[in-house]
Chains A and B, each alone.
Chain A
Amino acid sequence: MSGGALFLAVFLACTVEAVEATTIVLAAGTARDWRSALYGLLAGLVTLAVLIGALGPAVSAVPLHALRLVVGGLLLVFGLQWLRKAILRASGYKALHDEEQIYADELAAAQAVPRERRGAVTDWYAFTLAFKGVVLEGLEVVFIVLTFGANDHNLPLAALAAGAAVIVVALAGIAVRAPLARVPENSMKFVVGVMLTGFGTFWGAEGAGAHWPGSDAALPVVVGAVAVFAFALVAALRRGRTATQATAELVVTR
């Protein structure tokens, strides 16, 4: 796998999760207390960095075949989850991920809770909301960084891609001080779902002992085939949805 593909896969996955985390931190800061929300954000980022630093060498020490079997399987399960949701959204069966709506919901929930001071944190609710948002959204990214980095023997590049995505999204969040609704999050989730499913298919099968025709050259073919298949499924579901709606309208007019 080329360094560029590794960087792109981790950067995109991390950007998607960072946008979601930014929405939560913005809600905690706006509705409650900015300093506590930023403490929560920093504590969350440190937790994720410690996880990568602690687990990275351990994951890298696992024999490659076993690593590829386990992480390939997990990547495939994750990828199919992402892709399933992305296809349902693209075909209209599931509401698009709306950062503005999520922001409004988080804001309303945050405003309803009384303020409580703990140590240096002036608003414990804002701190925990931001901390949980960052850690929970970041766990999948930690997994992607570790698995992609370990598989490619290039953990530093994977960590760099994740760090770059966090910085870009954080700067954008600071600049607009509003949910990053213009980020094409749904399209990015589709791309990440395709990449995770493609890499998971390739590594999982290889870890279980399969030999791909063409060896490593099969990887881009697998990713491309997954993309074509996903687009075909979106088209089929859209057609099915239109046909169902047309039938329903016919029944109503009768």
Chain B
Amino acid sequence: MIARLRQFCAFWYDFVIGDDWRVAVGVVVALGATYGLHRASVPSWWVVPAAVVLLLPYSLWRASRPKSPQSRKS
């Protein structure tokens, strides 16, 4: 039962979050910041595009950098 539940949760995690959880967290933070700025009557349309400009290269950099011998073993 627990194994099935774990499998179920793993499927949805993989489906929604995918390979890099930092991207999902970054998107949530960006949307929260947009809402916060909007509530403070500050123009906020630029926050999400700025998050994309930061998150995508960061995630790509993490995926493309050479793996250290220790991380290869694990």
Contact = CB atoms under 8 A, between A and B. Distances in A.
- Specify whether A and B are partners: yes
B56 A84 contact: yes
Contacts of A126: none
A212 B45 contact: yes
B7 to A, nearest CB: 13
A9 to B, nearest CB: 18
Given A81-B23, A208-B31, A209-B35, A76 B48 contact: yes
Contacts of B57: 233
How would you classify the secondary structure of chain A's contact residues: helix, strand, loop or mixed?
Answer: helix
A213 B63 contact: no
A16 to B, nearest CB: 16
A210 B50 CA distance: 14
Nearest to A139: B15
A76 B55 CA distance: 11
B9 interface: no
Interface stretch (A54-62, A95-103, A174-182, A222-230): A222-230
B8 to A, nearest CB: 13
A80 B44 contact: no
A30 to B, nearest CB: 27
Interface residues of B, number: 34
B60 A229 contact: no
B64 A74 contact: no
A64 interface: no
B32 to A, nearest CB: 8
A225 B49 contact: yes
Given A84-B23, A210-B38, A240 B44 contact: no
A144 to B, nearest CB: 13
Interface string B22-55: 0110011011101101110001110111001101
Contacts of A226: 52
B51 to A, nearest CB: 9
Contacts of B63: 84, 88, 93-94
Interface in A236-250: 237, 240-241, 244
A233 B60 contact: yes
Given A87-B60, A208-B31, A237-B60, A201 B49 contact: yes
A20 to B, nearest CB: 14
Interface of A: 69, 72-74, 76-78, 80-81, 83-85, 87-88, 91, 93-94, 139-140, 197, 201, 204-205, 207-213, 218, 222, 225-226, 229-230, 233, 237, 240-241, 244
16 contacts: A72-B31, A73-B27, A77-B18, A80-B52, A93-B64, A201-B48, A208-B32, A208-B38, A212-B45, A222-B49, A230-B56, A233-B57, A233-B60, A237-B64, A240-B64, A241-B64
Sorted from nearest, which 9 A-B pairs have the closest CB atoms?
A: A209-B38, A208-B34, A81-B18, A210-B45, A205-B48, A208-B35, A210-B44, A93-B64, A208-B31
